[in-house]
Structure 1
């Protein structure tokens, strides 16, 4: 048992809590670069609260109450429009929980809502904070965790865009200090050096000086250039030529010829463009509507000339669809004579001052080509801006479209987007009917097809990808033979399956959102879109709604919002709170696949971005004041009455325990309780002497009897369980006596 004084424990505890917080902070800090998380201060504050209430050594129930209160308030700030803890708020929160519990019961982890993923992250940070404090203060072993943290930062620095140079410097400084002080504390306990209060200064000062000097020396000294080249391109190049597919190995990136799909490819990190955006979305280049059995071709259609960049004459959605008007700016690194744009584009504006440009919009492919206004030659733009409508899709309206209905008023349109080759094997059509047969609405059928791949263990693969030979059908081979491939396999198969049951759909190609780079002061976010982000997906037509994006490929997320209008809060405005339905089969968040989640902004609370913070949280200081005041009042009440209720808590915790450690723990708690209630144990006083002092006051021998049994366990090795069973009543009487 430690004999260090209260002031020494407080100083050591303060230092260890501070160092532990700084150490855990290095795990959180990279999230804004390696993920789409932007509001890191929410997590930092939450972790800071955990370390603060641990240092204050509050009663466990108060600790849990305070931490849970902060957790719920942060979730409220991020996801809810209702008043905090109001009836509507509780109902919405419970709806989220029921939905996600059902998701877990069916093991459909990818369908978890963003709010629930955020809740799990908060709980994880809470547990790590507790374990870190336990390792520091009780186990006094921190070297392994420091090494793990340094390794974590080094790996991120090597394989991601995160620059861990200064993080390594901070970690070496904090890590060596925390390991040094923990070792010092172990040595003090082992040698019994607790009486001399100057030992902290005598040992701590040279430790701090040594760590500071060595860290500064390491930081300022010249460094040699890396001996090894960047391992990422090396590891990427290893994949070149690998794979059992029969096609040639290709480099990933945009290409116009999609007539023969399949075969392996290798990655290419070359940046195509940088984009400043207000919200995550995919970047379209074109769509194709004719499936040949081997790949895609497109219908020849009239090309519309747009001199001023106004594309609004070609609507993407029905007027009833709720949309937000947004803009995005693109700066091209690799230049192509076409525009990259989000679905819903209404206007394009070239930012090159010395270029006269006009635009050609192909109604069949939706490809926007840039040409010189004077000579009609193709133009390669350096930068341009696009205006677009970002949609919110209400599930009630999507479900209102029953199976078997389409755009029958336009037969040519319907035939174009349900086209299939006569050579398509019947088993593909039979599979489509099997997947969708039990659903009545078009939306449910589309979601069933979209989720079919994940539920049947189709694998995302880029090297071991086959190419259909002879009369083999590309989709049939993927669905029934290989069941592995990349986005082209997944998206093409979904389109074909939908068309097989009469649902208009088209194959779309372009780029995913890219890699997050930074958050600008005006709230826009910068992404780098590389050849590695080349992607294909699916758009499905819903009458009275328009074209709706779906994402079947494992590892990718649908960036568009799906919500229930009846509980969205704002109806047509699309700015209300997107709630989660109770039905476990629905993935309102746009069917997340891989990322881990948060919203971009208040109006985008159920964005499918995984942990994707890009919002400015408006904090209600009145609400914060009320919460803090309520916690303070509760704490004050519990603190002032602790002598009354703490004995009952001790009895509840220890009375029914039967393990080998309970006697030692219960006896130590009794000593603490006695000293807190006036029975001070003098320096150097033995347990027997202290027991006599207590019994003299109570005019009994209970404390001496209990102490005698405790010493038999400690010094004679008697059975702790047996001695505790004989002593429970004595211990309980002594606890109750002093609190009465």
Structure 2
């Protein structure tokens, strides 16, 4: 083992401490760009303190307390309110540590608090600073750590937003200097030269000059083009499903055919897919999938059917009993695909090209576009006519299971399919959610509400990927409880199928973002890759497939209405859990068609996020913050000053009353107020003893007089009204004293 005796505080030791500090600094600085770590200055100062204490060779026990003192003081600055090391401060810290201990035991690393993460980082810096000095001054072996540091910065520079050009230059200079000086120390020990300041100067200065000249020449010299291709696009392509091993990495949002492995974060992409000119907003379907595998979705092999002349005579999503309104829409594609984006209720597709045919996959309901030779063709513009449904709640509640398509066992098996590996607790949760409801409509709404009424969070970055035998739905429902549309929609389908309700997974796009009103008084919407979305369709006998939207922050474009109310009043009444009423875009209302039921704020022209959720960045936060701060300040003032104003509230409430029973309410109110100011009545005290205690405290006899009259009302049955009229001034004087 290396020497354990203290090193000499000389120029060499000082330089090694400086170089060691700079080396560790390169591990801290990237945290600002690659993590959510803020206030890095406290960690830098803590590291500087640690190296300073090491150089000064402070007593270990004193160094220990200094480290802990600064660490907890910095924690206080970052996270705590109130007085440093107060009783409440220590209690808060202890509770946070206990909570994080349970989190660590459960291996739920994401759930650790920021305070605890900061403590761990402080401790890690403390330990590593000690190890760096130990390696330099005692072991005299530093090359491996320098290589690790350079590799760390190079990886972050390649795969994260962190720019490491300057860091690499600093590491070359500092790293080579450390390695050179450490090698010099080893040579001195080998040759038995333990005291030679001239050797340090004569060997060290040329070393530093040579390193600086080499680094400068390397920085300014011309560089050859990279020999290897950039690995980042390749890895992103894999994550997007465009390379080998697809499905398990980072997903780039947008439409893709491979859904066999769901999960993981995605990279937002606001590139425009198409523009839609229409008068009624809705979702744009691309395809459905019916086989849930436990990791993602697959589809049954289906036959292909031709849509002659673009006429949809092959598939009907709703029965003839469902009332509909006829609409049309025109799509102009910015990104072309050999398939159609269409709304529910599609009747006809119209294109200018004559030699275009449409092929419908009867399993997925995906409509592909083909040329005259049967090869895929990508259309730049097409128009479609469709029926927009209006669902009556009476019909949905009256749907009888086992009728309609459900009389076909193959249909039921197909749309209630679940993998054998699905954990039992998913089925148990589905039965728990729906068990108290009778109709299918109520059961489905209960499942849809479950995601909104519990702690499920819409999240696009910190999204888990199931590994091993983990089930995608089970992981989301019971472990992470955060994700995006795929998590919500897949989980709702699985829960419905678990209680034998036919449901399927649908993917396509939301309505997009409102752009403008056209000369034809129609609305123009822009749909981007960020609007790619998945949702749920549930089958109701004698009604058809009905759209549901479980994802937090999104609204169902189709409304549920009571037929009786609509017929009597001509108004559309939505269920409590249906969509929110929209806002009108800020433009000339004379040229704008009326907003459609089901159109949300984003599609109506309010600027929103491209994924269909509210964009908080567009809110004017200053007045909101001022308003909230005012409310908080007013609430705090009222709460902490309640002993000042509550007595006058009681006076206002009881003083002017002379009815029977007022005394019986006012006296207990006085007791409550006395307790609130710390004059607590002990369990063994009678009212008379307590009254004497109060009079001794206030140096009066009012409480005993008031209590005697209260007891006459309470025990002798004297008139409460008369006794209150005699006692009201005593009561008022006493209760006012509690506010002084």
Please classify the TM superposition score into its range, dividing by the shorter chain length. Answer: 0.3 to 0.5
Larger radius of gyration: 2
Higher RCO (C-alpha under 8 Å, 6+ residues apart): 1
TM-score by length of 1: 0.46
